[in-house]
Structure 1
Amino acid sequence: MAPDVHDRGRAELDALWARGRDFLGSRYALLGGAMSWVSERNLVAAISNAGGFGVIACGAMDPDRLAAEIAGTQALTQRPFGVNLITMHPQLDDLVRVCLEAKVGHIVLAGGIPSSATIRAIRDGGARVVAFAPALVLAKRLIKSGAEALVIEGSEAGGHVGPVSLTVLAQEILPHIHDVPVFVAGGLARGDAIVSYLEQGAAGAQLGTRFAASVESIAHERFKAAFVRGNARDAVTSVQLDERFPVIPVRGLANAGSRAFLAHQADVVRQFHDGTLSKDEAQLSIEHFWAGALRRAVIDGDVEHGSVMAGQSVGMVKSVQPIAEIIDDLVEQAIAAIVKWQQRTER
């Protein structure tokens, strides 16, 4: 590609995601998805240092553990990064305080609709609020409550997912939300796909699966190898066997553990019918099946019985690459797509 043509493509990309870049303070409007056990200081700093915007996954951390993770990240990067907090965490207020005291610039609220009081406390403390919007009506409510940016995540994503694809969410939400930047997420692994959403009005994109299998990720080598081997159809959501015992949908690679989970549900339902277990006991047994399973997969490398959370974009993970190389690939793919569009319109 001729340098002047490439420069024109890059200039257009910069214009398309200028709002996202300005909001995040990063070179590229590319957020790292917050993945428990994976999105820690090393990966987060690597994403930010490469021009993206890393996000720490607080998950079940207590305030002291989060404070240490933030400090560890700040020691590895001078670039902006954020912290993802789960709204249902019993110590949410304390976690917010830790972030504000550490001068974290952006707090991402996930796992439920945050209260206006939490959003107000974050903004009063000097940080910016990002929230997940699973539907248009909730997007409008979050903006009214003070959210300064939204993430719309499709069911193609890994981990805990909603029921609607990004393709549909984008059509439902992007044409109607203009007050705040909206970042798209779920199933994204190529820059040309990201450009298509930028042209629809998105301000940037969030990716998790591509980054989870990076060189800088602390995930076990067997975990990364499973991503390289995996196909899109291998990343499936957890199955609910009986509607009386709800199962929160989680997308991950099918393995012996997911098959055992089905057998476990069947056994629990049988015990409930026999009167061996009460309804509450049966529900708890199902919910506790995966306790510690994500850590077993990510840290210990048990990819057969652990929970290998991955999005459907796992089929596009062809090798374990450095973060900087992944981001460069995404940006160059985006520029190439823009250049093709520019050349078509000039004919």
Structure 2
Amino acid sequence: MARGAEFLGTRYAIMAGAMTWVSERNLVAAISNAGGFGVIACGAMDPARLDEEIAATKALTSKPFGVNLITMHPQMLELIAVCAKHKVGHIVLAGGLPSGAAIEAIKAAGAKLMCFAPALALAKKLARSGADALIIEGSEAGGHIGPVSTSVLAQEILPEMSPQLPVFIAGGIGRGSAIAAYLEMGASGVQLGTRFVCATESVAHANFKRAFIRASARDALASVQFDPRLPVIPVRALKNAGTEAFTAKQREMVGQLDAGAVELAEAQLQIEHYWAGALRRAVVDGDVEGGSLMAGQSVGMVTKEEPAADIIGSLVAEAATALAERAG
């Protein structure tokens, strides 16, 4: 873990996944203050809103933290400029392959670039393009997911890429023993999202947190693509009326496509807007029936609300115990 901790500038190489509406100033600062690495979820924020959020986070912590940007954001270069203004040391790009202009701007700002690698070929491409570290996230994770499990991606990518640059593992991690296993395989650190939703410092609605505490792993299901003409990135969330409404939304968009009422790009955009709105209703407003309860399969290991420092402390202690037992 020393390699990952040195890269992040933290005590522990434990990153927090960037969760829209959840990963804001309070949780990010709490995780960084506890020795981990908090990451602001920029999501659909405009540059002025991100500027405000970074400044507010800096007021709560002097420790390093990062910013997660979505590659398809129309104001990507302006967002990078905001990060540069605040001397953000690490920028995480998610949602697809980053453009050359974005990579160049991040490098010019002096920040370290972290990218998600969903396959070995893309991991190699990202390394050649200038990524300073990679994040491997498997299908067990919450929110938008790929088709391959964390354990398979780790076996495929770590032996090839970890000698070249730090690699962080994400998706389905809920115990320190799993962290220990991935470190032994060559990872430099890990990223967790679901475990931090119920941190005391998380601003997620009490109803949202209760849903996580009550849920088991089998409740966190991946959405199903309704029609192959409308490619939709699967989303893992707790099953509720909102997931059924999403199926209906897909059916509605397919009907409009058939009627020529919308173009494919517009249909896809409406679906993404659906998820953004549904997630806000659940996290902010507490609508756990109609909103989206994005959660990873590790949700079954979320059993109570507790401070971020206690979550990190237990993860580190469990990892240390697991490694000591194997060494003994």
Q: 1:331 aligned to 316, 323, 328, which one?
A: 316
**Residues 297-341 of structure 1: CA deviation (Å, up to 9, x unaligned):** 000000110011100000110111110100011011001101111
Alpha-carbon distance change, 288 to 28 in structure 1, aligned in 2, over 3 angstroms: closer
Letter in 2 for 1:237: A
**Whose radius of gyration is greater, 1 or 2?**
1
**Residues 218-242 of structure 1: CA deviation (Å, up to 9, x unaligned):** 0000000000011111111111122
**Residues 128-155 of structure 1: CA deviation (Å, up to 9, x unaligned):** 1111111111111111111100000001
Asked if structure 2 preserves the Cα contact closer than 8 Å seen for 1:116 and 1:146, the reply is no
Does 2:89 match 1:105? yes
1:282 deviates by: 5.7
**Residues 79-98 of structure 1: CA deviation (Å, up to 9, x unaligned):** 00000111111000000010
Alpha-carbon distance change, 252 to 146 in structure 1, aligned in 2, over 3 angstroms: same
TM-score by length of structure 2 reads 0.95
Letter in 1 for 2:27: L
Identify the residue that residue 233 of structure 1 maps to in structure 2: 218
Identify the residue that residue 228 of structure 2 maps to in structure 1: 243
CA distance in 2, matches of 1:213, 1:47: 12
Identify the residue that residue 10 of structure 2 maps to in structure 1: 26
1:85 aligns to what SS in structure 2? strand
Asked if structure 2 preserves the Cα contact closer than 8 Å seen for 1:53 and 1:82, the reply is yes
Alpha-carbon distance change, 48 to 233 in structure 1, aligned in 2, over 3 angstroms: same
Asked if structure 2 preserves the Cα contact closer than 8 Å seen for 1:148 and 1:181, the reply is yes
Asked if structure 2 preserves the Cα contact closer than 8 Å seen for 1:40 and 1:69, the reply is yes
CA distance in 2, matches of 1:117, 1:328: 39
Identify the residue that residue 6 of structure 1 maps to in structure 2: none
1:291 deviates by: 4.5
Identify the residue that residue 70 of structure 1 maps to in structure 2: 54
Superposed CA RMSD:
1.6
**Residues 259-279 of structure 1: CA deviation (Å, up to 9, x unaligned):** 122234345545655x48456
Alpha-carbon distance change, 47 to 282 in structure 1, aligned in 2, over 3 angstroms: closer
Letter in 2 for 1:181: P
Q: 1:206 aligned to 175, 191, 216, which one?
A: 191
Q: 1:192 aligned to 177, 185, 194, which one?
A: 177
CA distance in 2, matches of 1:276, 1:164: 34
Alpha-carbon distance change, 266 to 203 in structure 1, aligned in 2, over 3 angstroms: same
Answer with 18-27 or 122-131: which moved more: 122-131
Q: Give unpaired runs (5+ residues) of structure 1.
A: 1-16
Asked if structure 2 preserves the Cα contact closer than 8 Å seen for 1:238 and 1:247, the reply is no
Identify the residue that residue 127 of structure 2 maps to in structure 1: 143
Asked if structure 1 preserves the Cα contact closer than 8 Å seen for 2:67 and 2:92, the reply is yes
1:124 deviates by: 2.0
Identity of aligned residues (%): 65
Where does 1:196-345 land on structure 2 (aligned, <5 Å)? 196-269=181-254, 275=259, 277=261, 280=264, 286-343=271-328
CA distance in 2, matches of 1:262, 1:295: 18
CA distance in 2, matches of 1:212, 1:289: 21
1:252 aligns to what SS in structure 2? strand
Asked if structure 1 preserves the Cα contact closer than 8 Å seen for 2:28 and 2:65, the reply is yes
CA distance in 1, matches of 2:43, 2:107: 21
Answer with 90-99 or 123-132: which moved more: 123-132
CA distance in 2, matches of 1:283, 1:86: 16
1:247 deviates by: 2.0
Alpha-carbon distance change, 21 to 239 in structure 1, aligned in 2, over 3 angstroms: same
Identify the residue that residue 95 of structure 1 maps to in structure 2: 79
1:29 deviates by: 0.2
Does 2:142 match 1:169? no
Letter in 1 for 2:188: A
CA distance in 2, matches of 1:260, 1:278: 20
1:283 deviates by: 5.3
CA distance in 2, matches of 1:282, 1:174: 37
Asked if structure 1 preserves the Cα contact closer than 8 Å seen for 2:146 and 2:233, the reply is no
CA distance in 2, matches of 1:282, 1:65: 27
1:120 deviates by: 2.4
Q: Give unpaired runs (5+ residues) of structure 2.
A: none
2:11 aligns to what SS in structure 1? coil
